Structure 1
């Protein structure tokens, strides 16, 4: 049975000091790196996603001068800028596939992005025969939630490692984890890997 690790949006703009910083983002980057050092060989596929928004335009209404922080946001993770880079505390040597999402449009799930070769996450998982995936990253209540729900919809057994995620707000993060558990995801800590 093939396993995948899905690393969601551990980027400079989502960690401390970024345009949409999430408290605990740097700690997640460090902890995911430590986890990879110990467990990368346990996975057939390791996919890391990044928001990669266009510099011009509003990216389908995703960027706004007066964002509502639900459907519209301040400018963040613009393609080719330092904000779109992986957090420097995230060591990506073991990553087998890098995915970019949100080019010209809103995108929360890594399943909405493509690799440099143009493959979708679903295609990568299917080709590798992945039956289970562990999900980590930022932000629990947005892109982690959407990516884990899409992994479930793809027919993959999902575990969300609650010690390797960080959310925007406690209330919405708790609600997202409850929704994921209800949808069939297992909530676990990475020591259970």
Structure 2
């Protein structure tokens, strides 16, 4: 079975010290780097980079001069951290860049999402040449997808669900994700398992 890896939103603003830093984000970035190095042991070794026909990575890529369709909380109002958020991952800022630990030379496809609108799933974004992720995976004959990244309860969840909808066999590598909150992350994992995602 032809398998790809999807790295969801491992960006500076989503790791410790960022505008929406998630606890464990730095460790996720380091773990993904280890996975791609092929030097990891145990379950990671069986899903090593030599098994991946393609490595894709998504990034939030929000506009700095708009609320991005209501995704950013209005000035003077507090975000609810459910549908509205503080400004984050604004194009051209260090917060929008990939975490420094990610080996960019191992990433074959880059997807940007959330430009001017809320977008949680990597499947809502597009590559630099305007293709969506589903089209790229289909072109490469990808049948199975491993999903890792940030945040378990938001963009990882949405991306994995869309991957299932696209007809892919999906695994989530649970030691390479980090969530916003323990309760919502646990609920997301239950939802994904029910949808047919294999939690590894």
- TM normalised by structure 2 equals 0.93
Alignment of 1:49 onto 2:58? yes
Could you say what secondary structure the match of 1:119 adopts?
coil
Q: Deviations over 1:30-65 (max 9, x none)?
A: 000000111222111110000000011100000014
What residue in structure 1 maps to residue 161 of structure 2? 149
Q: Mind listing any 5+ residue stretches in structure 1 that lack a counterpart? A: 189-193
Query: What is the aligned partner in structure 2 of residue 107 from structure 1?
Result: 119
Could you say which residue in structure 2 is the equivalent of 1:32?
32
Aligned length: 188
Q: List alignment gaps of at least 5 residues for structure 2.
A: 39-47
Give SS of 1:5's match. Answer: strand
Say whether residues 1:63 and 2:72 are aligned partners.
yes
- 1:5-43 CA distance string (max 9 Å, x none): 000000000000000000000000000000011122211
Q: Which runs of at least 4 in structure 1 moved beyond 6 Å after TM superposition?
A: none
The equivalent residue for 1:191 is: none
Superposed CA deviations along residues 144-166 of structure 1, whole A, max 9, x for unmatched, are 00000000000000000000000
2:110 aligned residue: 98
Query: Normalised by the size of structure 1, how large is the TM-score?
Result: 0.96
Match of 1:80 in 2: 92
